Structure 1
Amino acid sequence: FLFLSSKETEWMKVSGNLWEEDFMVIGETYENIPGQSKITFLLQAIRNTAAAEEARQMAAVLLRRLLSSAFEEVYPALSPDDQTSIKTGLLLIIQLETQSSMRKKICDIVAELARNLIDEDGNNQWPEVLKFLFDSVSSQNVGLHFAPGFQKKFHEKVIAALLQTMEDQGNQRVQAHAAAALINFTEDCPKSLLIPYLDNLVKHLHSTMVIKLQELIQKGTKLVLEQVVTSIASVADTAEEKFVPYYDLFMPSLKHIVENAVQKELRLLRGKTIECISLIGLAVGKEKFMQDASDVMQLLLKTQTDFSDLEDDDPQISYMISAWARMCKILGKEFQQYLPVVMGPLMKTASIKPEVALLDTQDMENMSDDDGWEFVNLGDQQSFGIKTAGLEEKATACQMLVCYAKELKEGFVEYTEQVVKLMVPLLKFYFHDDILLMQSSMPLLLECARVRGPEYLTQMWHFMCDALIKAIGTEPDSDVLSEIMHSFAKCIEVMGDGCLNNEHFEELGGILKGKLEEHFKNQELRQVKRQDEDYDEQVEESLQDEVITDCAKGATPRWLTCCLFLTQCPHRPWPDRQWGLCIFDDIVEHCSPSSFKYAEYFLRPMLQSVCDNSPEVRQAAAYGVGVMAQFGGDSYRPFCTEALPLLVRVIQSPDAKTKENVNATENCISAVGKIMKFKPDCVNVEEVLPHWLSWLPLHEDKEEAVHTFNYLCDLIESNNPVILGPNNSNLPRIFGIIADGEIHEAIKHEDPCTKRLANVVRQVQTSGGLWTECISQLNADQQAAIQELLNSA
């Protein structure tokens, strides 16, 4: 049962008759049957309604996890008849199952199987499940789970079905389920897919909201209204500026709810409405929202005034805290005037100290689950308990403090000292992962503090620095460790040269050397385990590169030995070699020309690795060549020339664009562009440019895509004859590249590059014949993408 999640394992521990006969039979038999037979075995156990409920639930949990962790090994090995039988059987069991928690687990199994049966192109290989979902959407017993890519393939049918079901005025619970499913759908739905349905969505949501608001006033029913308000927020959040025309339709009613829904039983509705208003404001922007900003702020301030009277579990608290942060994003510097009102309650919530206890087994058993305690067994006789009430609010409050520091910068300076004193001790707060991950606030707080001069800034850095280094040495969780390292690196960037002394370097070197040595030992163990046919290889734990990079500015022989060992040992596993290259990539990127004094350690391995068998290693090497061209200075010129044919070899290989190779290939394409842009005298640019243009656009690596599009704009804006072609004959091809980049979201609309690309299109738009020729060679999706680009920039 090693592949069970911690929650599922915990469920098994507390599920009552753990050692009941049926339970034991399932566990023992399951371990001794072949992989592909496990599916049918578990399905039979689920069907066996005569068995204990715990045993059936265990079988359901095991089946979902089997499909999640070993689908490719077990499902394709089944015969077509068996596959059909399993799919049909699962849909039948959902309809016959009467126990709600069991039905939920079976729905999870169906969702997992359906997700695996959608291929890479988004084609649904289980059409029966889609029909079943549409037929069942009016049933309150079936939940909708949307697999990745589902929205792109089935948006029209899903939206129509959900809107139709939302209008079932005879069944409140069905309406609420449909509204909840609409929230799930729109949250992950690309903006471009949602926009065509926006009018229809808004019409249905508004009419339903009006009806349900009347029902609230007349009958006190609120379930559907809560979900509808959240649906409106989700649609606005996805539609962004496209929601502006519908703003006046909703805002008066939403303000009315906040103003009047003051009864205790309406706290959740009021909180969700506050969230909705702030999300709509963020979506439509400051210019449109300002007409109501003053009223909304007064409503929030009134609630804030009563904040101390709210109970600890009042759902409005977390909604209020998040809403203030969104208002800060909307109002920008103008929000600073509200900080004296906001910061007191926010700091109070962020400073919540959890209640903990060490209890013997009998005391633990006497405590009710309703008390909100969670326990960890420390042995046969003792348990460590923590009361979780307030921890989510504490985490949200810490996130909001980060938001204020980021948005207000020097306007937040008055609060930096108290926030730093709160945040630094949280490096040792082990009770909540999201709170541990709040360390991104450290560099932001330093940036806020700059305005008070170098002495104040240095004092704050000294308060942080030792605690951060200690946390790097002691933090056991790899995700949290990465965040702390990233924060530490950003702090060093803010503080600049000289912020670390020799003792810091020595301590960091020792810590990271120890982590590398531990990693090498673990790698040896993993190499042994890889020989086991049942071993499911996971990506080895990762160190954040930024800290290593910044420490490399004071590199010691210990550092170089480690890096050299990683990059120059071809027998080592690919993650190790990728690791070493990433270290040197960052040395080049951050240390600029001065990095060349370490070139003897990495240049030859980096060039050799461009054509490595591992795509991850190729990607790291290609990225290194790109930063070498961009940041490396004159000493790197000969190596850029030497790298070019190696990069081209990778790009032109037959399998260059396969799923596993595409990221490495796109980094090679980007590196070629960077060589031409930053080291043009190293290559024959006129000869290479046509090839480079034929390789565009980049779809997967969004960061490198921006580099290539910016260089493309440079070339077009300078009227480069090779890029434009004779009589601008290449422009239709360029339009196709821009359109495909928009379709694949290869650039974000907030990036300045978007405006440059839109200006290129607008320039052509002014010459009628050329515009017609360019547009006529695009398909319908590409034409729509060009229009979307023009609308957004």
Structure 2
Amino acid sequence: MFVMQVDYGSRAPDRLREGLPLQTPIPGVGAREAMYLNRTFVMDLSICLPASYNPSNKDEEGKDFRYCFDFKHLNLVASVVEESGFLRAWKKWDRGHKRKMPVKKVTSYKVTPMQLKAKNKSTIIWRQFDLPEPENYCGQMDWDFDAVHVVRGEKAQNKELWPHLDSDTSPDALLTKLKEMVPPWRNLYVATNEPFYNYFDKLRSRYKVHLLDDYKELWSSTSEWYNETTQLNDGKPVEFDGYTRVAVDREVMEVLMSLQGSQMETDDPTTSYMLQAWARLCKCLGQDFLPYMSVVMPPLLQSAQLKPDVTITSADPDNDIEDSDDESMETITLGDKRIGIKTSVLEEKATACNMLCCYADELKEGFFPWIDQVAPTLVPLLKFYFHEEVRKAAVSAMPELLRSAKLAVEKGMAQGRNETYAKQLSDYIVPALVEALHKEPDTEICASMLDALNECIQVRSIVDEIKQVITASASRKRERAERAKAEDFDVEEGELIKEENEQEEEVSEILGTLVKTFKASFLPFFDELSSYLTPMWGRDKTAEERRIAICIFDDVAEQCREAAIKYYDTYLPFILEACNDESPDVRQAAVYGLGVCTEFCGPIFKPLVGEALSRLNAVIRHLNALQSENVMAYDNAVSALGKICLFHRGSIDAAQVVPAWLNCLPIKGDLIEAKVVHEQLCSMVERSDNDVLGPNHQYLPKIVAIFAEVLCGKDLATEQTASRMVNLLRQLQQTLAASTLASAWSSLQPQQQLALQSILSS
């Protein structure tokens, strides 16, 4: 037999007892121990009566019937008999037998069930849980407390889903709220996922604060009690903290359910807050949130399906939009029309879409029953151009919906659906994502769409789509080229050829984004595309096609670096030849790629340095190099030349090449390359590069002039580089001979001298 003596007394307060679940730790642990020790569990069954047996809620013989246990559940776990009947039978048996039953009384919680089983053969084991602290492991916690559940931790970092969480759960905010509800110096238990123990110290000025860390002997993985109860509980840890949270969570659910059923105005901000509150609870409860989904989803879908409230009127000042004073209405003027959009509706819609994504992500296969309603709601919103947040949420939800369907089918929870359903859903979502990707104006959302596509179908399907686009475009171009020879070829057909170039440009941008996102892991897919891209390098192709092909290689070389070296034998000859292309756009792409190869190719580039210098020299010395149509190619060629000076100094005649590069500076057309080149020069001067400074510092006047032009120019260097240049000039003022400084100063224009004096004196 196994006897468990329980004394709950009057210390469990009403608020806590009303919130506790039907099974509490002591009977559950006792039943598990009895089963493990092969004993019958003896307990006072009066505490198992449901609360309805005592509607007055009055104590009877010290027992509070609101604090009850599920006897049927305990009886399933172990053999259970009623205590008073057992004691009467035991006394009667004891009087009639000379041989007494061996009884082992266990008063310390530190004696584990394993120790009892190994050392004790007594018929009756009497374990007591009513001893005073600290021996009673559950009694070590003062149960006469008020419970507060504070959700923080990582959630405080998610400003989109919990925008006000950080301030609302600060100690000051909590103290203000608690003063209205909890008398001073009560025991206050804070159930929270906040990782910093001292975060709630301010509450200690008014309350006796208890945190989970104060009771490590009840839940720490090093605790003997924790490990024993876990083993007895089928390997599932006893969730100590959960029993306190439920006291608060039940009240929260009741409030939200009440609000959900009330009628609110269309633009009532409470709606948005309530949607977020449900989502936060879902994050906390996980799969336990599923019973509430039938309440949450209908209004959530209704919010996600809201139509944008748009008003279009004449831009005439006499025809103001009626609601122009409404803070929730934004207006823009396009031509002779004034467009008003009610932002509160869009914000509610965006919040709802984010919440749908949250539920799908958190509930996984549990979200399956709602997919048929959610997918048709969110897929069209991939092209909802009124609001970026709506599109972002719709994009994020796509892989989550597919994952939910896949898991539900795999786990037999798909309500009779099979793999065909998951494929149909994929066939619905993926083409919609691809189509939206081609039209998406925001680059950040483009990247999100590519990530979503990768999650939905892996990258291979995108590559297949690109193959089809390139093949179909090439076929149409051939047909139109033939048509161009016909007499009836018109201007409209010529415009269609331009549209083909635009589509190829989009392909280039998609591939560029893929390479930047996945880097070297994308190269196996690039290998598949090479045979489709290589023909675009041909001299028979348009300049635009050649430029696009070179830009794709530039992206691969820059993002994949050493991993892309295997392509150099194939593509570098094209790059070198294209440096002298008739089209300045092609030349720019080619010399930029040459600079990338110079930087990342390493020793493999050494045999090509001579030819690269020759090609770059031709671009730099082009008769009209500095004219507007050629200046971008010129600037990129100067940048590439600087990289040869930096990374392959040993393979060049530095005394000739470095001064030639210096004479090309500063560059002012390509502002991105300008920042790179001028930072490179600054670094060379800082380390006193002899080839840059020249014999007897003869190039210093030129360097001072370059610095002056950069500092007086607009956006030619980063703030950090400009600051370094100023410091270098101040050092030169102090260290250079007066004659050298005067020579450098005289090479400047008068306005540059004045500007530089102002900069150096500030």
Q: Which is bigger in relative contact order (C-alpha 8 A, separation at least 6)? A: 2
Q: More helix by proportion, 1 or 2?
A: 1
Q: By percentage of residues, which structure has more strand? A: 2
TM-score (structure 1 length as normaliser) = 0.41
Larger radius of gyration: 2
